[in-house]
Amino acid sequence: MEHNIWIYLLVMAAVSYLIRMAPLVLIRKEITNKYLRSFLFYVPYATLAVMTFPAIMEATQVPAAGLCALIAGIILAWKGCSLFQVAVLCCAVAFLVELLPIF
Amino acid sequence: MTTENKICFRHGMRDGSPIALGYFAVAFTLGIAARNAGLSSIQALIASALNNASAGEYAGFALIAAGSTYVEMAVMTLVVNARYLLMSCALSQKLKPDTSLRHRMLIAYDVTDEIFGICVAQPGYLNPWYAYGAIVVAIPGWALGTFFGVMMGNVLPTRVVSALSVGLYGMFLAIIIPPARKNRVIAGVVAVGFAASFLVNRLPLFDGVSTGIKTIALTVALALAAAVLFPTDTKSSVGALDSENASHSP
């Protein structure tokens, strides 16, 4: 059977939206359970850390460029640079490292 | 719109701009995958504007190319995007309890890694207009990036695309590192997160597991361990999820 691309797109969109919408609409109160609150407090840090490394090394042509960008990003963020500054400087570091003749 | 909402909207647009740039670059490469799956540039544009999910869309395009069933598509989208379920749960605690249904349904539209990241980094409760500000600049970046990716293929030099794609990770670092500096438990979660993620991605044992599942499993394990070992102070308001840690935002 021939499948319709538009139906595929509709299925994808519906599932993607429902996943995001359900918790925001269903959880209306502040959660009082200490452990559940703590869990949700740590979720962003855990998930963003897990998604950053080692993925950053696979985003660039040369893994070392991603690694250098990671180190630069950690130092810059530690020093208090803004979101935009960190993002742009990470790109610059990755770009410059990939220009090095050793790669 | 009240003055406060206007200010929040503008701040959202400001913080959303680097996200839009990064999205454009990433979506450009996604567009190439869409083209390979047989989508037109308009279909890819619509797919991105409706889904706002990089891994989810990659997986979806692969299924379209393979001619899978609609049920398989639904299950795959659910699995690959399941981390958004967790993020929305966490984000629900950043909203004032009396936030209207309309606001909740609109914010839900674009809970992505990046938008979620900047929203939880806001001090105190999240003003929905901040999210809207970020969303109105981020979605066009994402959707148009996919559109041009299909249309123009490899017109940007690979070096530029690869350098730009690092920007999204830079943004993640700007979100997690400043709080980690102030809170040792967060620092531990980040460090262990890096190490565990590296191992799980490199050990052949986990080769058959999708990236989405790995991300969810590690997130749950880490956050659970941290919550059991170091529960946060119950007296502080959850609405201020990390207000004391968010003082880095300008």
The pLDDT of residue B175 is: 83
Q: What is the 3-state secondary structure (H, E, C) of B11-41?
A: HHHHHHHHHHHHHHHHHHHHHHHHHHCCCCH
With CA atoms as reference, report the closest residue to B143 among B53, B48, B30.
B48
The pLDDT of residue B244 is: 39
Q: Quote the crossing angle between the two packed helices B54-66 and A5-26, to the nearest 10°.
A: 150
Confidence of residue B247 (pLDDT cuts 50, 70, 90): very low
CB contact under 8 A, A42 and B186: yes
A56–B contact, CB cutoff 8 A: yes
Model confidence pTM above 0.80: no
Inform me whether the pLDDT recorded for B29 exceeds 90: no
The pLDDT of residue B237 is: 37
Assembly ipTM:
0.87
Spatial CB neighbours of A7, under 8 Å, sequence gap ≥ 6: B70
Nearest-Cα residue of chain B relative to residue A62 = B162
Do B145 and B34 form a contact (C-beta atoms < 8 A)? Answer: no
Neighbours of A80 (CB within 10 A): 15
Segment (H or E) for B7: helix B3-36
Mean pLDDT value across chain B: 85
In this prediction, residues B25-40 reach a mean pLDDT of 82
Nearest-Cα residue of chain A relative to residue B52 = A16
With CA atoms as reference, report the closest residue to B241 among B149, B110, B119, B136.
B119
The pLDDT of residue B153 is: 67
Inform me whether the pLDDT recorded for B198 exceeds 90: yes
Q: Which of A15, A25, A89 sits opposite B101 (nearest CB)?
A: A25
d(CA B186, CA B39): 42
Give the model confidence (pLDDT) of A32-73 as tens digits.
Answer: 888 988 888 888 888 889 888 998 998 888 999 999 999 999
Inform me whether the pLDDT recorded for B234 exceeds 70: no
Give the model confidence (pLDDT) of B51-89 as tens digits.
Answer: 998 778 887 887 888 888 898 889 878 877 888 888 899
CB contact under 8 A, B50 and A12: yes
